[in-house]
Each structure stands twice: as structure tokens, then as C-alpha cells.
A and B are shown apart, each in its own frame.
Chain A
Amino acid sequence: MEWSIRLVASASIIVIFLILLFVMREAATLFVSASTTATESTSSSAPSGDLVPESYDPGAADAPSSSEPEVYNPDAEEPATAEPAGEPGAPGQFIYASKNPKYPEIYNPDTGLLPADIDDVESEAETPDTLARQNVLTKLAGDSWQPVGEVPKFGLAPLLIGTAKTTIIAILIGAPLGILAALYVAFFAKRRVREFVKPAIELLAGFPSVVIGFFCLVTVASFIQDLTGVQYRLNAVVGGIGLSLAVIPIVFSIAEDALSAVPKTLREASLALGSTEWQTAYRVMLPAAAPGVFAAVLLGIGRAFGETMIAIMATGNAPLSSLSPLEPARTVAATIGSEMGEVVWGSEHYGVLFFMGVILFVFSFSLNAVTELYVKKRLIKKFQGQ
């Protein structure tokens, strides 16, 4: 009997291996066969009028405005019409949610080429066969993400930049708020206040991410635009704020646990020596709980870069290589979430999306391993050493 329950208990371990194995297995098609690329590129070079890639809503095809893929931005018309039509825009000038019915997808942030110039590009790079045989790794190292088109480009750089941008913003907002709120709840708040504030903040962890994404899309985005007058309604800052709402409850509860776990004797000793409550909290308790607070921030980072729905809905979703926080960004997770739905199963694009899944998995696994193995050991050592 014990063995059967032991077997069930090992399910978690088995699942970890299965995730790694099967996500990698689908990504492996990328490195094994390059022949599938040809079929995908022929299928996507269908008459451009019917070509509606990246439209998640098959219902939109019935609607009159069928040529609006990726319209996450209800106000997209404004910047798009504000742009001079004939002039090739500077990098970042062109909005991803293109209204051009002919080439809805084609957009190159580097050259700033507009759809009108696209024929030149095709004649220059008319070697899909050699490109198909090109090493996958060099493709992934490219600097533009353009998965659908005559010559698909799978450069991960813009996506990694977008992920880093939004994650950093989310942590810069979320970590201080979470840690300070934890300090307040652990040391300054009266008991009755604490018993209300703590569950209230923990309730935020239960907010579905799609709800937070919706809130950013309709409310935060307008608020930020009214406040700063930015050109793009949805940008990395709005996305970062949204992600910080997912980060705060995690940082808060882990930091609060760590702060409460510091032995009471430390606090009493500090107070007995004549220091005030705030000196004790900031200079004795916070340093003592530092490894735990560090773990809280690490897990917050893990949540921020892996979050999908908020990133899809609030960042503007354009794969730009720009470092500016006020321009749209697209994260790795959001790319998987928004492109997996209409990709040809087994194609190169499919393999690349799974490969990005492997990246996400390995990254979150490493973060967790660091917090588990390093931080917890240090915490134990610290308190037992004292």
C-alpha cells in the first residue's frame, strides 16, 4: 500500500520530466528536419488578399474589417494615420497593428520598410531554399521577428529585449511595493489592521491574469496616455505595471513570511538596546530576512517573465528592438500565446515556439533551483549560526 502511494507521490517529479521531454520533443523538429520549412513558406505565400495570418478570431473573417490582425489597441488608428503615408518611417514609427490589407504582417523595425517597399526586399532575398537550410541557430540569433512571410525571420532578440524591458519595469514597481507592504504588515501595523490587510493583498494573487490584463488595457493604458501623452497607448510601461500587479502578491507573501520567521529575540534585543521600531525593522529584521526577501524577488521575476495574458493584452505586442520603455514591446511568453493558435503544426515556426517554451521552462527551473538550494540553505545557516 505504501508503495502505491509513493508511486502517486512521484507524479510531480514525473510531470517535471514529462514537461521537459515533450516540450523539447516538439522543439526538436526544428533541429532535425529543415524540409518542413518549404511547405510552410509555400502555404503562406498564398494570394495576399486572403492572407490573414495572426488573426485569432476566425469570426473576424466574416466582419467587414477582416484585415486587422493583432489589433490589441482600440486607438491604433490614431498613430497609424498620423504617419506620413509615402515616407518610409524611422524605426519604431510603424505600428505593428497595420491597417494595410495587402501585407498585414510585413514590418521591419530595422529598415523601417513600409509595405510599398516590400517587393525590393523579396527580390533581394529570393533564396528561400538556401535560407531553409541555413543553420537554425543563426536564424534564432537574427535581429528581427517576422515569423509569417515570404522569408520568415525568427530572430529572438526583439522578444528577449521586450521580455527584459517589461520584467525590469514590473520588478522595479512590484518589488519595493511588495517588500515595503510586507514590512508594514509584519512590524508597524496594529493587529486588527494586519488581519485585514494581509488577506486583502493575498486576494490579489487570486485575480485571474486576464482580468488584470483587461484592467490595464482599458483603464491603466488610458490613464498613462492622459498623464504623459505618449504616442503608443499600449507600451512596455503599461505592460510592466500590469505585470507588477501579478508580482506584488508573490513578493509580499514570501517577504512577509521571511520577515515573520526572523526570531523574536532579535527584535527584542534590538528594542532593549534602545533602538526604535523603525530602526529595528529596517536595520535588524530586514537584513536578517535578506535571503528570504531575495527569494521573494527572484520568484517575482519568474512570475513576471512567464506571465502571458497580461503581456499579450497590455504591452502592445510589437516585436521592436527598441530599448525605450514608452514604445510597444513583445515578450517571449506573449509570442507563444498569440502565435501558437494559428501556426502550422510541425512547421518551423511551431518548432521555434516550442523552443521558446523550453527557454521559459529552463529559466523558471533555474530560478527555483537557486531559491531552493541556495537561499534556503543560507537562511537556515544564518539563524542556526546566531
Chain B
Amino acid sequence: MMQTSSSSMPLPKRLIGFFAVTIAMTAAVAVLGIILGMVGSFISNGGDGVTWSFLSEFPRNNNTEGGIWPALAGTTFLVLLMTILGVPVGTATAIYLTEFAKQDSWFARSVRFAVNTLAGVPSIVFGLFGVGFFIQFMGNGIDSWFGTTSFGDGSLLWSSATLAVLTLPVVIVAVEEALRAVPRDLREASLALGATRWQTIVKVVIPNAVTGILTGSILAVGRGAGEVAAILFVGVTYSSESIPSAVTEKFMHLGYHLFVLSTQSPDVDLTLPLQYATTLVLLGLTFLLNLTAILIRSRLRKR
């Protein structure tokens, strides 16, 4: 049908039409091409570097040899602690927004506005917030109240807290979407059977939204694992003799390790294979996390 209408048009218009469709397709293909080119370049240059010893060894000789084990461990600790700190708050906010709030109430609108704003704040500002609030205010406050000395400096704890704040919108949006997908009938049936609102939420809504909470956590972890700017001065370190054993220690991070290797090292070309291998590991990690979340989410949407 489209064929007949376009063939009845004058040639210049058909050309414009062809051009209009082609340019949109070219844009999509170009973006896909960039993504594939990027991934391809990392795989071809770094594929050989990712070996078991690369993953399990400490860096040697001023980060010019060896592996990335402490960075891998540091990143893992960081995102785990971040999840523990951030996901409960995000889940509670999403539950409030979907189950309790009147949609056009002043408070609910403010929360939504704050969540959207938080999602748009540059990550470097979160880094400054981490220094100003967590280290200077809370850390120094704890130190002077309890007579400790370990909190008033950058650490795994403050980095995780900073990232928890940064990933809060990711969690809230994902969990909210999952909660909205829980059919209204289930809630009404539960309430009709005499359950209180609270019982309905705990026994009916949350069990049905577990996949959503999982998606939110995975997305947050993916974001947190790749985020460097926010933790630059909140506790990350370029070299470490051991993996952190307390939350007040400094830690190595995959993204920061890559940043240091590629820009701060005295001989950048020497460590290029290491840089590519680190990139591949970091990208593979975030890629897998995001892919998992996308798959879970699309299954959720179909339901």
C-alpha cells in the first residue's frame, strides 16, 4: 500500500523520502557500528591479556606487570557495600511512591522531582559531596566523638556510601516499575480477605516484585562498578599491597586502575596490553550485569 502511494508521487519527492528513511537508518547503523567497533577493538587487543593469572595476581613493578586481583576485589567489595547501603532505601522509596502516596500529592511530586534531579547530577558533584559530607562532616564527626582516627579519610565505606547515593535513582526507578507491574487485583484480593495494607505489601506486593528489586540492584551494581569520577577522592587508591580487610581502608578499583594506567603512568605504551585487558574485564563485567537486567526486565514487561 505504501508502495502504491509512493510510486504515484513525483520523483523528487520519492528521492526525499528515500533519503529521509536512509539517513535515519544510517544513524542507527552508525551508532551500532561505533559500539561494535569499540567492543571489537577491546576484544582483539585485550583478549589475550585476560588470563587466569591476570585476574588472580597482584600488580607488580609499579603497576607495569602482573594482574588486577586487588582492583577486582576492591570493586566487588565496593559494590556489595553500596548495595547493602542503597538498595533498602531505594526499595522503600519505590514502595512509598507506588503503594502509599497519592499520585498528585505535594510530597510525592517532590520525591519524584528529587529522584529525577538526582539522576541528572554530574557524578563528579557526588564526589565533592562525598568529600564535603561523608569525609569532612560525618567522618571527622565520628572521629572526634568516639576518639577514632580512621573515619576522617577516604575509605571503602565512604566510597560505597557515595555510590549508594549516586545509584539511588537507578534502584528507585527499577523497583517502581516492577511494583507497578504487580496486578491491582492481587492487592485488592488481599485487602478484601481482611489483610491490612502493611500485610498486603509484605506478603503480596514485595514477593511479586522481587525480580524488579533484583533488576534494580543489578543495574545499580553495573553503574557503580564503572563509576570512577564519584570516588576519585573518596578513598580509591592506585596501588595496594593487600585487599582491604576493613571498611575504613582504602581500596583499588578497576575503573580507576584503568584511568591510572592509561594517563598517569610514566610509560603509557609499555602497559598498553594491561590497559586493554583491564578495559575488557571492566566492560565485560558491566556488560553482563546490564544484559542480565535488560533480559529480566523484558521478561517482566511481557508478563
Listed A/B pairs (22) with beta-carbon separation below 8 Å? A6-B107, A23-B129, A56-B238, A59-B238, A62-B62, A180-B26, A181-B24, A183-B24, A188-B25, A203-B290, A208-B227, A211-B255, A215-B42, A218-B275, A275-B5, A307-B122, A333-B229, A337-B124, A357-B125, A369-B113, A372-B113, A372-B117
Could you list which residues of chain B lie within 8 angstroms of chain A, going by C-beta atoms? 2, 5-6, 9, 16-17, 20-21, 23-28, 30-32, 34-35, 38, 41-42, 62-63, 89, 92-93, 95-97, 100-101, 107, 110-111, 113-118, 120-129, 131-133, 136-137, 165, 168-169, 172, 197-198, 222-223, 225-229, 232-233, 238-239, 255-256, 258-260, 262-266, 268-269, 272, 275, 279, 282-283, 286-287, 289-291, 294, 298
Find out whether the CB atom of B31 lies under 8 angstroms from the CB atom of A277: no
List chain A residues, Cβ under 8 A from B41: 215, 219
List chain B residues, Cβ under 8 A from A294: none
Is A321's CB within 8 Å of the partner chain B?
A: no
Measured in the bound complex, the distance between the Cα atoms of B232 and A252 in whole Å is: 29
Chain A, interface residues (CB within 8 Å), range? 35 or more
Known A74-B269, A180-B24: A57·B2 in contact at CB below 8 Å: no
Nearest first, the 6 closest Cβ-Cβ pairs linking A and B are A306-B122, A208-B226, A180-B27, A9-B96, A308-B229, A206-B290
List chain A residues, Cβ under 8 A from B259: 210, 213, 309, 312-313
List chain B residues, Cβ under 8 A from A336: 124, 127-128
Q: Mark A339-373, 1 if CB is under 8 A from B, else 0.
A: 01100000000000110010011001101110010
Find out whether the CB atom of B266 lies under 8 angstroms from the CB atom of A64: yes
Q: From DSSP, what is the main secondary structure of chain B's interface residues?
A: helix
| Complex partner residue of A12 from B27, B133, B168, CB under 8 angstroms | B168
Q: Mark A185-199, 1 if CB is under 8 A from B, else 0.
A: 100110000000101
| Complex partner residue of B266 from A2, A63, A210, A369, CB under 8 angstroms | A63
Measured in the bound complex, the distance between the Cα atoms of B275 and A213 in whole Å is: 12
Find out whether the CB atom of A16 lies under 8 angstroms from the CB atom of B93: no
Measured in the bound complex, the distance between the Cα atoms of B291 and A185 in whole Å is: 19
Query: With contacts defined as CB atoms under 8 Å apart, how many contacts are there between chain A and chain B in the complex?
Result: 286
Q: From DSSP, what is the main secondary structure of chain A's interface residues?
A: helix
Q: How far is the CB of B58 from chain A (nearest CB, A)?
A: 14
- Closest chain A residue to B239, Cβ basis: A59
A304-348 CB contacts (< 8 Å) to partner B = 305-309, 312-313, 333, 336-337, 340-341
Known A215-B41, A278-B17: A367·B27 in contact at CB below 8 Å: no
Find out whether the CB atom of A340 lies under 8 angstroms from the CB atom of B127: yes
Find out whether the CB atom of A9 lies under 8 angstroms from the CB atom of B294: no
A29-75 CB contacts (< 8 Å) to partner B = 55-60, 62-65, 68, 71-72, 74
